[in-house]
Amino acid sequence: MTQTFDRTALFTLARDLLTGGGLPPEKAETVAELLIQTDEIGVTTHGISMVSYYLPELAKDLMTKEGTHAVLADNKVTLLWDGNYLPGHWVMTRALDTCMERAAEYGMAAMAIRRSHHIGCLSALTRIAADKGYVCYIATSDPSGQWVAPYGGCEPLLTPNPWAVGYPGRDHPVLIDTCASITTLSKVREHINSGTEFAHPWMLDGTGHATTDPTVINQTPKGSILPVGGADHGHKGFAMGLMVEMLTQALAGHGRVEAPTRWGANVFLQVMDPEAFGGREAFVAQVEHLNEACRNSRPIDAARPVRIPGDRAASAASRSTSGGIALPDEVLTRIRTCAAEAGLAFPDPL
């Protein structure tokens, strides 16, 4: 079940919760705006509901409230920042602005970021650059986490390692947002909370057997999430995971060597201007030619036509604009509790 809400009311609630948690107004507004944009594109696992995870981090000073990132290296087209565990949405907004400016000048730019706090929904970020005509790639890992085993091994050593790429299409951007593991830690926790199992063997128990049981991550020896490709061809997902750890930690010169124990995000961000290669018009023509061929191709199930990543986000964004933002019950329960604890009124549904 979902209920629908006015955008401004949700934004105000998110902002007030964050300022109530001690975040200065400018940072709170930036984070709240991106969380609401995330709900608008339908990724409600990473929208306003994240506030319930951020407030305890603010309370424990594990999410930095004041100050700014440090620029550790700036070579014009390559940069290295230290995010100082500041709110990831705020750090990424600045990182995107910088990389888009540089890409406009030099054709492309890339940045490695160490020690950001959680950066939220990747496609809400790549969408900002794609909407302005850029190709935007973001990968992130958390060097404090170990949830995915190397292919052929039993011990979890990597994070799920999400990566996303957004780029312009004819009507709306293509928004690829995926990760190097078959499923995410959120999905594992959802299954554990609801007492259900995965439909496919997407987990690995601590002795190396593929299983549908999400609780293996809480057992001893500790189980893990299988890499993309699973028991069958998981060397491909493992390779992808290694690549994300390299881009986000090795290029950042900070990661598992330092063995941080707090929730954090290492990030690799790259922005490219198609104008600096074969031109924007030619770029969009090629993208849309393939997209249309895919959308119009014969589906396996007539009721489920082929979709391009970003199509669903575009529909959700359009519904949110016309009819308000739909939030599911589990998000509402979580955020209502936050509001009650902060003594803030919860908006009425539309």
List binders of its own copies among 253-312 (CB under 8 A). Answer: 253-257, 272-274, 276-279, 282-287, 289-290, 293-294, 297-301, 304-309
- Which residues lie closer than 8 Å to 75 by C-beta, 6 or more apart? none
Q: Is the dihedral of CA 25, 27, 30, 32 positive or negative?
A: negative
| Per-residue CA distances from 323 to 45, 241, 310, 349 (Å) | 20, 39, 20, 11
Kindly tell me which residue out of 24, 56, 67, 153 binds its own copies, with binding defined by CB under 8 A: 153
Per rule CB under 8 A, count of chain residues that contact its own copies: 85
Piece of the chain touching its own copies by CB under 8 A; list 16-24, 69-77, 117-125, 311-319: 69-77
Torsion of CA 136, 248, 77, 124, to 10 degrees: 30
C-alpha 201: how far from chain center: 24
- Phi and psi torsions of 116, nearest 5°: -85, 160
Q: Which is nearer to its own copies, 9 or 284 (CB)?
A: 284
Cβ atoms 57, 68 nearer than 8 A: no
Residue 288 CB, shortest distance to its own copies, in Å, is 9
What residues between 156 and 195 interact with its own copies by CB under 8 A?
157-158, 165, 167, 174, 176, 178, 182
Options 232, 318, 321, 337; binder of its own copies; rule CB under 8 A: 232
Residue type, 349: P
Are residues 140 and 95 in contact, defined by beta-carbon separation less than 8 angstroms? no
Q: Which residues, 6+ apart, have CB-to-CB distance to 145 below 8 Å?
A: 159, 185
> Does 229 engage in binding with its own copies (CB under 8 A)?
yes
Q: How far is the CB of 314 from its own copies (least distance, A)?
A: 15
Please name the amino acid found at residue 168.
P
Chain positions 27 to 66 lying near its own copies, rule: CB under 8 A, are none
Out of 75, 220, 261, 322, point to the residue binding its own copies (CB under 8 A).
75
Pick 13 or 251: Cβ nearer its own copies: 251
Site for its own copies in 113-132 (CB under 8 A): 114
> Could you say which of 151, 162, 173, 331 contacts its own copies (CB under 8 A)?
151
